Amino acid sequence: MTAVATPPIMFDSLFVTVQAVEDLSPHLRRVTFVAPRLTDAVVAGPDQRIKILLPPPNGSNLKLLSGEDWYADWCAQPEDERFIMRTYTIRELRAEQGELDIEFVLHGVNGPASAWATDVVPGAEIALLIPFAVDTTSAKGMLNSGVDYVPPSTSKHRVLIADETALPALTGILEQLPADTHATVFAQVPDKRDIRPLPTPGTADITWITTAPDSDTDLPLLEALKSAELPGSVDFAWVAGESSMIKSVRRHLVNVVGLPKPSISFQGYWKRGEAIG
C-alpha cells in the first residue's frame, strides 16, 4: 500500500509594518499589519497561533533567523541578545490586500508585547512568524499547523470557555460556528466595557464574567461553569486562557460533565504570577 503524503507545513518570519491601531475596548487593541508577503500567508483555523518577534532586551536591532535550525540557533543565543518571541492569534487575515489583524490585551508594561502594543503607532515595524502552508486534512495536521480548535464534524453542542487573552480566538470561532450548531459560552473580561457583540451563524448562549484574571477571585470561569446547567447534548469543549484555569475547568468537564478527554481542546495562553504578553 502506498502511503498518502501529508500536505507540507511551512512557517516563515517576515518584517511587517503597522498600518492602523484601533482601540476596541479599554483593554483590547487591534493592530493592522501590512507586508507584500502577507498575500501568500494562510490560516488553518479560527484560533491560528503565530509568533510576534520583538527586538532583543539589550536594545539591538531585530535580526531574523532562517533555515531549518533557526529555533536551535535562537535558543543558543544569550537571552539578552536574542529577539523576544510571544504567541498571539491571528484575528483576521486579508491575504488579497496583504493585511493581517492581531488583537492585543493591554495589561500595561509588565510584558514586552503588551508594552509594545500600548505605545505602538502606525509606521512601526516588527516581525511575525506565520504559516505559508498548512495541513487541514486531519486533526493532527491542524494541531501541527498551529490550531487547537478542531471539533469533529458531527459536533452539534459545544462549550467554549475563554478569558480575555483568548477573546480574539473565541470571536473567530463563533464567526465560523455552523448554522446547525449551538455553543454555550463563558467569557471573562476585566471590565464590563470590554464586553462586545459576538456574532455567529449558529446559536450561542453567552455568559460574561467581569472579574479581572489577576484579581483575588479564584477561577471565576470555573465557578461560572459549575453554576451552569449544561445539557447532556454537549459533545465538545474548547478552553483557552490562563493555565491553572484550564486545568481546573478541564478536570470539571471530564469528572462532572462527563466529556471524554479527547473531546476537549485546550490552550494555555499565560500563567498566573508571570507577565502577560
Which tens digit of pLDDT belongs to each residue from 26-64? 999 999 999 999 999 999 999 999 999 999 999 899 999
Is the pTM here over 0.85, yes or no? Answer: yes
Statement to judge: residues 32 and 127 lie in one domain: yes
**Which has more confidence, 66 or 228?**
228
In this structure, is residue 276 part of a structural domain?
no
Whether 112 is in a domain gets the answer yes
Strands 49-54 and 125-133: what pairing? antiparallel
Q: In the chain, what percentage of residues exceed pLDDT 90?
A: 79
pLDDT digits (tens, 9 = 90+) for 194-226: 999 999 999 999 999 998 555 555 589 999 999
Q: What is the pLDDT at residue 42?
A: 97
CATH, residue 47: 2.40.30.10
Q: In the predicted model, what is the mean pLDDT of residues 80-98?
A: 95
Residues 105 and 162 placed together within one structural domain of the fold: no
99 and 155 in a single domain? The answer is no
pLDDT in tens, 154-170: 999 999 999 999 999 99
Tell me, yes or no, whether 44 lies in a domain.
yes
Q: Is the pLDDT of residue 273 over 90?
A: no
In a domain, 5, yes or no: no
Contact 132, 10 (CB under 8 A): yes
On whether residue 141 sits in a domain, the answer given is no
Co-location of 105 and 213 in the same domain: no
Residue 65 lies in a domain: yes
For the record, the C-alpha cell of 229 comes out as 446547567
Residue 237 has pLDDT above 90, yes or no: yes
Q: What does the pLDDT average to over 127-142?
A: 94
Q: Is the dihedral of CA 195, 153, 149, 253 positive or negative?
A: positive
Q: What is the total count of domains within the chain?
A: 2
Q: Is 139 contained in some domain? A: no
List phi, psi (to 5°) of 96: -60, -35
pLDDT band at 4 (very low <50, low <70, confident <90, very high): low
